[in-house]
Amino acid sequence: MIKNQIITGKCLDYTFDGLGVVKYDTFCVFVKGMLIGEEGEIIITLVKKNFAYGRLLKLTITSAERVIPVCSVSKGCGGCQLQHMSYAHQLQFKKNIVENDIRNIAHLDKEVMPVIAMEKPYGYRNKVILPVQLNKNGQTEIGFYRYNSHNIIPIDNCYLQSEVSNRLIDKVRELLDNYKLTTLIKHLMIREMFRTQQVMLVFVCYRKDVNSFKNIVKDIVAFEPRIKSIVLNVNAADTNVVLGKEDYLLYGEEHVIDDLCGLKFKISAHSFYQVNTYQTEKLYNLAIKIAGLTEKDDILDLYCGVGTIGLAASKYVKKVTGVEIVQQAIIDAKENARINGIENVEFICGDAQKVTQQFQSENKHFSCIFVDPPRKGCSNETIQTLINLQSDKIVYISCQPSTLARDLAMLKEHYNVEKIQPVDMFPQTYHVETVCLLSRKDK
């Protein structure tokens, strides 16, 4: 097989990120935008030792699950991967991904529940981060990176965002050109709290230059009355990390406020906060429900962020202890407890592994532990400490099925996996959130 070779093939399966898998001789060819059962002509774009990548040229057999994407740039854009799938097929794809990882990595023969769907699977993102640059004509481009590249696809209307966010992006693009500020800026971040109608705008810049933004800030505030915060963030580092450590308030407050699970939350530029407010409520209510909490329970909330899960659970239990390594998140969590009048919570800033080891040395017992780690999952040491803490129940919330399954493979020796429930937090993309209930075997 060689690059630019044109083959005819049939899609037999999907990769974890939604690429079609086509078998050709001894090769697996991965093709974006191809559905199981479809046949077509494919041009080979990259050849490795045992696999290759291809681009679909023409379909000769089309799946009944294929739909026309609502977005005109979805084929090349890296923001969405599944718009060509019917929503029902997206849900089945995500269920299969979780099932395969649970079976093949965790080696568990356990039923995975159907994915909890979103009623309207568009316009759900309350946060968007977009790269900013000048194009070859000297005009400002704001958009998403093209699939597998750092080339920007300019967007006029992203269907995962709200009308407010799309309108703001267009206006900011116009103003950056007018005031010649584009070369200062690396990224634009918008946080929109749907329930409270509050919007935060963050300019991520190469250097501090507050004075240059005075006129653009005035114009933006006049254009969009929902703006409650405009921040200049400085990040000169050439890394994949978007936000730097320096913030300068250009307008309004340092936070916006959202309503979630009947509580108010202050969200700063650096706060971790789930991007889909409506599905997050389903996720958290489910996690709290399956935990079967009582007023006698003393619970631990690991990777607590700004305290969302722990504070939502606090009214059902005796005490909540939250642990998070990001200092600003802990500051926000404490403030969120204060503004909601919640007193039976304690938030600790520290590494999950080290703090849980400290709890173990103090013979601390928690009746239930909520674990909501980043995509990489828990370290082996943290999993072992969780086991040593001997909590009656663990509710593990995961945004990455493969690392969830890896961690369950360790936990299953000491815990029964009672329930596996995926939730579609990210429609039109391959990402899926999963909630698992585990109960201690020797209880």
Residue 65: CB atoms within 10 Å: 18
How far is Cα 309 from Cα 372, in angstroms, rounded to an integer?
9
How far is Cα 374 from Cα 137, in angstroms, rounded to an integer?
40
205 catalytic residue (yes or no)? no
Reference 325, options 249, 400, 272, 376; nearest CA is 272
- Please pick, among 205, 304, 368, 399, the residue that the annotation labels catalytic: 399
Task: Please classify residue 49 by burial: count the beta carbons closer than 10 Å to its beta carbon, then call 0-12 exposed, 13-18 middle and 19+ buried.
Answer: exposed
Residues that are catalytic? 399
